Chains A and B, each alone.
Chain A
């Protein structure tokens, strides 16, 4: 009990760390217990544990003409949610990898995404077939130049893949999502080529690298080959593609194809390393991009931080527990599956929480605990039936509990 302190106060805000401060006389022996950087101070409001401050800064007056009365030390800090600034969102599979992961995606393009429920993509035909379609062989046929795929695409053996209803002459309308893991044998430059009928997006390790057809009236992502040369580090990488069949009927086919080659920095390629195939997994015609829950995204970031701090008994992240899981929030309500959670690599976990609170979650860490509570946005709190009101009896001020009520606003 810090009985001799004064000027104690705190400010708790919804889904924010808040702040607090407390003043010690310099001759207060309790001042010696303030050992940065891991000192937490509990604040009680009328006896109820209400706030925990992480002691972060001090302001000491060591000598003053007012002598002991003014010789005091103010310790201030944010709420202990600020501890989440001690861990960052890292690149998906650690540092040192290429391509450099500037953005960390927590969605279907993420390496860590669980695609075990996805099905295998369907092979429609080879790129060679669509490039040089013979007359009478479906929509990519007839020798009609308008529907032939780009003849400059460098890999004739790459498969055009699509949903299970796809053929060379027709497919359904909508968005299909593909994931395929490739293995890069050695660090170096590699060039990725892609074609999509009608258009779409290509991601490498969660990073958007190409948008075939997006700038070409949205229909002709198969007419001009998109390509990009990237540095790859050796090891496993993920090629994720969103394909959209936007203009179609029963006589309008759809498909995606890509191929990756070792190359020099200028894009001069060697032999094909890998290409689109039926080892790709697919979600067919999804109404929204496959995603993950906010709880899953948070747990991924937290678990990764705990893994990095393994064996460190002082690390806050190893003392942390959570009251939610990947499926349910802290109130037991099922999380929504969110299509697209992403943040910059290097974001602190606190900032990641704050970003999520802008659209998805309420978060809180009860004072005196290191347990993170997360609810769906708006989920924290109850409706206790409290009304702050002016006195109901004008002759008895004690029949009201509201002393001041003002409003200001903007036009």
Chain B
């Protein structure tokens, strides 16, 4: 129930404030507002009018549960208490977060509090408001509230844990980065847009896309120390490869120290020497010349394998994931998109869980 007429108790006695517009619309609804020690009637009016602005409207509570996609929409990384956000395009202010763990998976669950904290019955609501307005001690220690357990998140859509919260993408640039064993005269297109996009590398126009690479520097969260992720899936999408192209191979490599490949040897030796991750997928059979059937299709490539460099990655230290492509033919108006689209981890008997996803 809303309120549009306050009987105000203040230092000088009683006063009354009415929000006429609301009274004209819904009728007079009275409540008590205690302002205690305020000594100026003008200030009493100012404070009471502010409260009437709040309580003369019908209050709404918005309940949401979220599944952050990246660092940008992850609580305490990209969005904080007090921030103004939108939900389905409707503006809200974040009044709080409830954060807890799923005991089965250890994942972090977030429940934002938006709009009014809670829709209370009128007496409780006024008591809550007056608790802020009436000066005075609490008369004893307040009960410590337990955090609310958020609603369950369906299996298969699993919140990340613990998330890499900072990605910096670098792609090969310049003429010959040492990976171009074939067609060295070709080079990457302007990379500026790609760096912004992060996850897509349209090669347009490009007939023969030479060897290329995409490097993600990951800044791990502090509690990455000692955490082992034992499975990673890299998704690569090929859009209409050209028949007759050369072998197309993708590799996922790891490097404890972010760096760019500097020579052709990096592809086969240096990077693979850094750890067990040397994932390879050849969608075209590993031989020159492509079957025509690949043309005109979108091909998702999943690379999966052990991936445990975070074991050695200490708090806050960036590490790199390198995605390599070893030459291929593509239609002149076609594209190759690749990047760390999804990022799975599994531990023990638990099935793989999506812990990171990247949106277009």
Interface residues in chain A, defined as those with a beta carbon under 8 Å from any beta carbon in chain B: 1, 6-14, 16, 18-21, 43-51, 56-57, 76-78, 88, 102-105, 107, 109, 201, 203, 206, 208, 211, 214, 242, 288-289, 338-340, 342-344, 346-348, 351-352, 354-355, 357-359, 362, 364, 380-390, 397-411
Total inter-chain residue pairs, C-beta < 8 Å: 281
Assess the A386–B98 pair: CB atoms within 8 A. Answer: no
Cβ of A242: which chain B residues have Cβ within 8 Å of it? 40
Assess the B87–A388 pair: CB atoms within 8 A. Answer: yes
With A398-B354, A407-B61 already in contact, the answer to whether A44 and B221 are too (CB < 8 A) is yes
Contact with A along B67-89 (1 / 0, CB 8 A): 11100111111111111111111
Q: Which of B31-39, B170-178, B249-257, B288-296 contacts A (4 or more CB under 8 A)?
A: B31-39
Nearest CB of chain B from residue A163's CB, rounded to whole Å: 19
Q: Which of B136-144, B187-195, B204-212, B318-326 contacts A (4 or more CB under 8 A)?
A: B136-144
Complex A-B: 16 CB contacts under 8 Å: A7-B101, A11-B96, A11-B98, A47-B222, A105-B37, A107-B39, A339-B40, A381-B81, A384-B78, A387-B87, A388-B73, A401-B69, A401-B73, A403-B66, A403-B157, A408-B60
Q: Which of B14-22, B161-169, B270-278, B345-353 contacts A (4 or more CB under 8 A)?
A: B161-169
Assess the A388–B133 pair: CB atoms within 8 A. Answer: no
Among B50, B83, B119, point to the contact of A408 (Cβ < 8 A): B119
Assess the A402–B60 pair: CB atoms within 8 A. Answer: no
Bound complex: CA of A10 vs CA of B80, how far in Å? 14
Residue of A43, A208, A347, A388 with most chain B CB atoms under a 10 A cut-off: A388
Nearest CB of chain B from residue A72's CB, rounded to whole Å: 13
Cβ of B117: which chain A residues have Cβ within 8 Å of it? 13
With A343-B36, A399-B359 already in contact, the answer to whether A409 and B85 are too (CB < 8 A) is no
Among B2, B42, B148, point to the contact of A289 (Cβ < 8 A): B42
With A20-B147, A386-B79, A389-B88 already in contact, the answer to whether A409 and B36 are too (CB < 8 A) is no
Assess the B83–A19 pair: CB atoms within 8 A. Answer: no
Assess the B65–A403 pair: CB atoms within 8 A. Answer: yes
Cβ of A355: which chain B residues have Cβ within 8 Å of it? 132-133, 135
Interface residues in chain B, defined as those with a beta carbon under 8 Å from any beta carbon in chain A: 1-2, 11-12, 36-40, 42-44, 46-47, 50-51, 58-69, 72-89, 93-101, 103, 108, 110, 112-113, 117, 119, 129, 131-133, 135-138, 141, 144-149, 151, 153-154, 157, 160-163, 165, 220-224, 342, 354, 357, 359-360
Q: Which residue of A has the minimal Cβ distance to B74?
A: A46
Bound complex: CA of A46 vs CA of B162, how far in Å? 5
Q: Which residue of B has the minimal Cβ distance to A358?
A: B132
Cβ of B12: which chain A residues have Cβ within 8 Å of it? 201, 208, 211, 214
Q: Which residue of B has the minimal Cβ distance to A342?
A: B37
With A20-B147, A78-B144, A105-B37 already in contact, the answer to whether A47 and B88 are too (CB < 8 A) is no
Assess the A340–B119 pair: CB atoms within 8 A. Answer: no
Assess the B86–A386 pair: CB atoms within 8 A. Answer: yes
Assess the B147–A386 pair: CB atoms within 8 A. Answer: no
Cβ of B162: which chain A residues have Cβ within 8 Å of it? 46-47
Nearest CB of chain A from residue B57's CB, rounded to whole Å: 10
Complex A-B, nearest 9 residue pairs according to Cβ-Cβ distance, in ascending order: A47-B221, A381-B82, A9-B100, A340-B43, A103-B37, A380-B82, A409-B60, A342-B37, A13-B96
Assess the A407–B63 pair: CB atoms within 8 A. Answer: yes
Bound complex: CA of A357 vs CA of B1, how far in Å? 23
Assess the A10–B137 pair: CB atoms within 8 A. Answer: no
7 additional A-B pairs beyond A47-B221, A402-B64, beta carbons within 8 Å, are A19-B144, A43-B99, A339-B43, A342-B11, A388-B73, A398-B354, A409-B60
Q: Which residue of A has the minimal Cβ distance to B88?
A: A389
Cβ of A404: which chain B residues have Cβ within 8 Å of it? 63-65, 151
Nearest CB of chain B from residue A265's CB, rounded to whole Å: 25
Q: Which residue of B has the minimal Cβ distance to A1?
A: B223
Residue of A46, A47, A389 with most chain B CB atoms under a 10 A cut-off: A46
Cβ of A400: which chain B residues have Cβ within 8 Å of it? 67
Assess the B37–A104 pair: CB atoms within 8 A. Answer: yes
Among A48, A77, A339, point to the contact of B42 (Cβ < 8 A): A339
Cβ of A344: which chain B residues have Cβ within 8 Å of it? 36-37, 135-137
Cβ of A48: which chain B residues have Cβ within 8 Å of it? 76-77, 165, 221
Bound complex: CA of A320 vs CA of B149, how far in Å? 32
Nearest CB of chain B from residue A336's CB, rounded to whole Å: 11
Among A47, A57, A362, A411, point to the contact of B58 (Cβ < 8 A): A411
Nearest CB of chain A from residue B165's CB, rounded to whole Å: 7
Among A14, A77, A342, A346, point to the contact of B81 (Cβ < 8 A): A14
With A340-B39, A343-B135, A347-B137 already in contact, the answer to whether A406 and B96 are too (CB < 8 A) is no
Q: Which residue of B has the minimal Cβ distance to A109?
A: B39
Q: Which residue of B has the minimal Cβ distance to A203?
A: B39
Bound complex: CA of A346 vs CA of B136, how far in Å? 7
Nearest CB of chain A from residue B353's CB, rounded to whole Å: 13
Assess the A386–B354 pair: CB atoms within 8 A. Answer: no
Q: Which residue of A has the minimal Cβ distance to B101?
A: A8
Bound complex: CA of A293 vs CA of B2, how far in Å? 31
Nearest CB of chain B from residue A20's CB, rounded to whole Å: 7
Nearest CB of chain B from residue A238's CB, rounded to whole Å: 13
With A46-B108, A358-B132, A358-B133 already in contact, the answer to whether A9 and B221 are too (CB < 8 A) is no
Bound complex: CA of A407 vs CA of B63, how far in Å? 6
Q: Which residue of A has the minimal Cβ distance to B118?
A: A408
Cβ of A76: which chain B residues have Cβ within 8 Å of it? 144, 146
Assess the B87–A12 pair: CB atoms within 8 A. Answer: no
